[in-house]
Amino acid sequence: MPQLEAIIFDVDGTLADTERDGHRVAFNAAFADAGLDWEWSVPLYGELLRVTGGKERIRTYLAEHRPDFAPPEPLDDFVRDLHQRKTAHYTQMMRAGGIGLRPGVLRLLREAMDAGIRLAIATTTTPANVSALLSAVAVPGHYPALEHWFEVVAAGDVVPAKKPAPDIFSLALAQLGLPATACVAVEDSDNGVRSALGAGLDALLVTVSSYTQDQDLGDAALVLDGLGEPDAPPPRVLGGGCADPVAAALRDAGCVDLAVLRALHRCAAAGS
């Protein structure tokens, strides 16, 4: 049976709950900068999230909600400029510490790193957004800056197709030089689940986020409402094919730690 060698994390919704109060706010600020009277409300943004990628999301909004708007030509340049403004707003907010990591994330990353488990990222978002988010996280003095904990950062437009296509997870695996069976993936959304499973990452943990709690995520090996912390109430189990085999490890730890991820990894390997 293959050993667990690496963990591949999604970013938005998984490392941090960035969509509603981060990306959405940055899109609206970019629209205001450009003199557009567009306002993406919390529910509308939830709908638009089915489309991954900020530029793709703007195009979908134009097609579905602004059919009468005549964008300046060429459309590609208009969308690119608007999205660059959005990235500038977003990175500024994140560098200022606008949104912290979700509970348990830093603890788990640290435990994994200390145990020699390799860390990677597979995300749809722009690489600068990942750096900005991670740069604001304080780590103990003897550790390098958080960004350097991740050996591989696969992000943004570097693959032909964004999630739910498997490309970004496949790229992360290729850059790690590992088979999918040596890894656990952590995601928060249905698009992410399809992407990770498509890349063969059966040992898939989902921690639902504010926009994804009602999605159908049951194809993942384990679905929880978060990673939890040892001194907080344990994460709630919401589903997944490995929920029973992992239950004892989760009960013992009271949160997702490396023992839970190893149990998940074993369960997924036994099933595949």
User: Which residues are near ligand XBP by CB under 6 A?
Assistant: 10-13, 19, 23, 52-54, 86-87, 123-126, 129, 163, 189, 192
Q: Which of 12, 188, 190, 202 is catalytic?
A: 12
Residue closer to Mg ion (CB basis): 14 or 91: 14
Q: How far is the CB of 247 from ligand XBP (least distance, A)?
A: 27
CA nearest to 224, candidates 211, 244, 234, 238: 238
Residue closer to ligand XBP (CB basis): 188 or 257: 188
Torsion of CA 60, 62, 66, 72, to 10 degrees: -170
Helical ranges in the chain per DSSP H? 24-33, 42-48, 54-65, 75-95, 105-114, 127-135, 167-176, 190-198, 243-253, 258-271
Residues 168-227 contacting Mg ion, CB under 5 A:
188-189
Residue closer to Mg ion (CB basis): 91 or 189: 189
**98-134 burial by CB neighbour count: b if 16+ within 10 A, else e?**
bbbbbebbbbbbeebbeeebbbbbbbbbbbebbbbbb
- Quick one: residue 165, left, alpha or beta (phi over 0 = left, psi -120 to 50 = alpha)? beta
Q: How far is the CB of 57 from ligand XBP (least distance, A)?
A: 6
Task: List the single partner that 257 binds among ligand XBP, Mg ion, none, CB under 5 to 8 Å by kind.
Answer: none
Distance CA 260, CA 104 (A): 13
Of 6, 12, 94, 168, which lies in the binding site for Mg ion, with binding defined by CB under 5 A?
12
Catalytic residue check, 33: no
Q: How far is the CB of 169 from Mg ion (least distance, A)?
A: 12
* Residue, CB closest to ligand XBP: 54
Q: Cα separations (Å) of 197 from 88, 166, 218?
A: 32, 8, 12
Q: Which of 10, 17, 167, 257 is catalytic?
A: 10
Of 6, 13, 24, 204, which lies in the binding site for Mg ion, with binding defined by CB under 5 A?
13
Residue closer to ligand XBP (CB basis): 90 or 149: 90
| Cα dihedral 251, 257, 260, 264 sign | positive
Q: How far is the CB of 150 from ligand XBP (least distance, A)?
A: 13
Catalytic residue check, 21: no
The alpha carbon of residue 267 and the mean position of all alpha carbons in its chain are separated, in whole angstroms, by 23
Beta carbons of 53 and 165 less than 8 angstroms apart: no
Of 6, 8, 9, 10, which lies in the binding site for Mg ion, with binding defined by CB under 5 A?
10
18 binds Mg ion, rule: CB under 5 A: no
SS3 155: strand
Residue closer to Mg ion (CB basis): 170 or 189: 189
Q: How far is the CB of 121 from ligand XBP (least distance, A)?
A: 8
Among all residues, which ones are annotated catalytic? 10, 12
Binding site for Mg ion (CB under 5 A): 10, 12-13, 188-189
